[in-house]
């Protein structure tokens, strides 16, 4: 499917003469593609075969997992080690890369050099749900091009504006969306929704605007897409000729919609600038435990230095009358605390 898309788009024309190609998948956590969390390794293989067949010699895979996970563990879990070995393509952990400050609409952002210096940065996101930003696809996938300290700062800045500013700064010229079986509720996967679908475009903002329509979301539910347009990252105007796709559903209504599982789990959660890994631990705990129902929970960097009644998640909430410590804490620790509370301990 990937080779077909790249051929239909004549993607080789986007690579500068003698330039390199850096493939940027979604390896947010150590999860399998079948779980709906990470980009399928076949998408990488397809890209490598296509660009190599067209004479590109310098091809690499670049990614940095979220703050709570090790990139190399995630790359093995998704099967990328076998792909890289088969094609003799290097994989670079962006958590270890050098960075350069790039001027953006919200001030300087430190971005990893391998993403900035690629002849062609090929963005390979998964279309899926996200427990904080509702949807993640082309623009949000670029957060993996940041060092961990910038990822944390993005959360402190409220995510929406920084994601939009990063998209406008990096402006990848090619994005291939893996919508084969993304989890439409949760970025960590677990409930994949099979659509066997892929699409490609040259405007990450437009592809995200298209993703919103596929997931049945309103633009106001995912503000960073419109903001990215304001910052010069692309256009939200949809034109069929701009997006090349495979396996278009014959009727839009047939495309599965998010089930709202995460939204119902976090009804009693007050979030203020929580890191993704922290928030995901909480969602995982609430998903697997019956004891979280009705408990008022606070989470996020915005609670640092504050004293308050109730359950706080993570070291930022040390001032809570009860706190699950860790940065981020594990889901298991949260489940244990919820159980202790339910049993009056
Ligand atoms: S405790 Fe959680 S929200 Fe606070 S810095 Fe650590 S991971 Fe982020």
Summarize pLDDT for 275-300 with one digit per residue, the tens: 988 998 999 899 888 888 889 999 99
- 258 in Cβ contact with 195 (< 8 Å): no
Domains of the chain: 2-254 (3.40.50.11440), 266-342 (no CATH)
Q: Supply the pLDDT for residue 325.
A: 96
Q: For a pocket test of ligand 1, which of 299, 316, 325, 330 has the largest count of ligand atoms closer than 8 A to its C-beta?
A: 316
Pairing of strands 320-324, 269-271: unpaired
Cα separation, 207 vs 200, in Å, equals 8
Pairing of strands 134-136, 128-130: antiparallel
Confidence of residue 250 (pLDDT cuts 50, 70, 90): low
* Residue 177 burial class via C-beta count within 10 angstroms: exposed 0-12, middle 13-18, buried 19 and up: buried
Please name the residue whose Cα sits nearest to atom 6 of ligand 1.
327
Cα separation, 321 vs 308, in Å, equals 6
CA angle 189-192-194, nearest 5°?
150
Q: Supply the pLDDT for residue 290.
A: 83
Pairing of strands 197-201, 244-246: antiparallel
User: pLDDT over 90 for what percent of the chain?
Assistant: 79
- 319 in Cβ contact with 334 (< 8 Å): no
Residue given tokens 């997992």 in the structure block? 65
Cα separation, 229 vs 222, in Å, equals 13
Rounded mean pLDDT of the chain?
93
**Eight-class DSSP state of 155:** H
145-156: average pLDDT: 95
- Poorest-pLDDT segment among 11-15, 200-204, 211-215, 286-290: 286-290
- Ligand 1 center to residue 63 CA distance, Å? 21
Ligand 1 is surrounded, with C-beta below 6 A, by 152, 274-275, 277-278, 300-301, 314-316, 327-328
- 269 in Cβ contact with 320 (< 8 Å): no
Q: Rounding to the nearest 10 degrees, give the CA dihedral for residues 164, 167, 169, 170.
A: 170
72-89: average pLDDT: 97
Q: Supply the pLDDT for residue 169.
A: 97
Confidence of residue 261 (pLDDT cuts 50, 70, 90): confident
Cα separation, 243 vs 197, in Å, equals 13
pLDDT one-digit tens code per residue, 4-53: 999 999 999 999 999 999 999 999 999 999 999 999 999 999 999 999 99
Confidence of residue 249 (pLDDT cuts 50, 70, 90): low
The DSSP element (H or E) to which 122 belongs, if any, is strand 120-124
Greatest mean pLDDT among 156-170, 175-189, 230-244 lies in 156-170
Rounded to a whole number of angstroms, the CA Rg of the chain reads: 20
Cα separation, 291 vs 288, in Å, equals 9
The DSSP element (H or E) to which 53 belongs, if any, is helix 41-53
Q: For a pocket test of ligand 1, which of 131, 151, 300, 320 has the largest count of ligand atoms closer than 8 A to its C-beta?
A: 300
Residue 252 has pLDDT above 50, yes or no: no
**Ligand 1 atom closest to residue 299's alpha carbon, by position in its atom list:** 3
Could you tell me the sign of the dihedral formed by the alpha carbons of 74, 80, 84, 90, in that order?
negative
**Eight-class DSSP state of 309:** E
Helix, strand or coil, per DSSP, at residue 194: coil
Confidence of residue 254 (pLDDT cuts 50, 70, 90): low
252-267: average pLDDT: 75
């Amino acid at each position: 499917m990937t080779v077909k898309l790249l051929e239909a788009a004549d993607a080789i024309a986007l690579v500068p003469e003698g330039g390199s190609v850096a493939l940027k998948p979604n390896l947010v956590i150590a999860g399998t593609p079948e779980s709906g969390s990470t980009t399928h390794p076949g998408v990488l293989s397809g890209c490598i075969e296509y660009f190599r067949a067209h004479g590109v010699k310098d091809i690499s895979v670049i990614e940095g997992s979220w703050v709570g996970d090790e990139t190399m563990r995630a790359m093995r879990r998704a099967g990328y080690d076998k792909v890289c070995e088969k094609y003799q393509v290097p994989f670079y952990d962006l958590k270890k890369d050098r960075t350069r400050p790039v001027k953006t609409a919200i001030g300087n952002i430190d971005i990893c050099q391998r993403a900035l210096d690629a002849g062609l940065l090929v963005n390979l996101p998964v279309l899926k749900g996200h427990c904080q930003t509702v949807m993640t696809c082309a623009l949000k996938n670029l957060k993996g091009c940041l060092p961990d300290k910038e990822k944390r700062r993005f959360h402190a800045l409220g995510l929406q504006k920084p994601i939009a500013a990063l998209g406008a700064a990096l402006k990848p010229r090619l994005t291939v969306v893996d919508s084969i079986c993304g989890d439409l509720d949760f970025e960590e996967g677990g409930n994949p929704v099979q659509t066997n679908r892929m699409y490609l475009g040259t405007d990450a903002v437009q592809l995200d605007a298209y993703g919103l329509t596929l997931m049945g979301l309103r633009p106001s539910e995912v503000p960073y897409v419109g903001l990215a347009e304001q910052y010069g990252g692309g256009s939200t105007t949809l034109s069929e000729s701009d997006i090349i796709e495979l396996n278009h559903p014959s009727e839009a209504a047939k495309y599965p919609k998010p089930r709202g599982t995460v939204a119902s789990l976090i009804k009693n959660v007050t979030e203020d600038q929580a890191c993704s890994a922290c928030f995901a631990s909480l969602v995982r705990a609430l998903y697997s435990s019956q004891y979280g129902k009705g408990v008022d929970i606070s989470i996020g960097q915005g609670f640092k230095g504050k004293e308050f009644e109730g359950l706080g998640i993570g070291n930022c909430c040390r001032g809570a009358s009860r706190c699950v410590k860790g940065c981020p804490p594990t889901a298991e620790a949260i489940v244990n605390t919820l159980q202790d509370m339910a049993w009056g301990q």
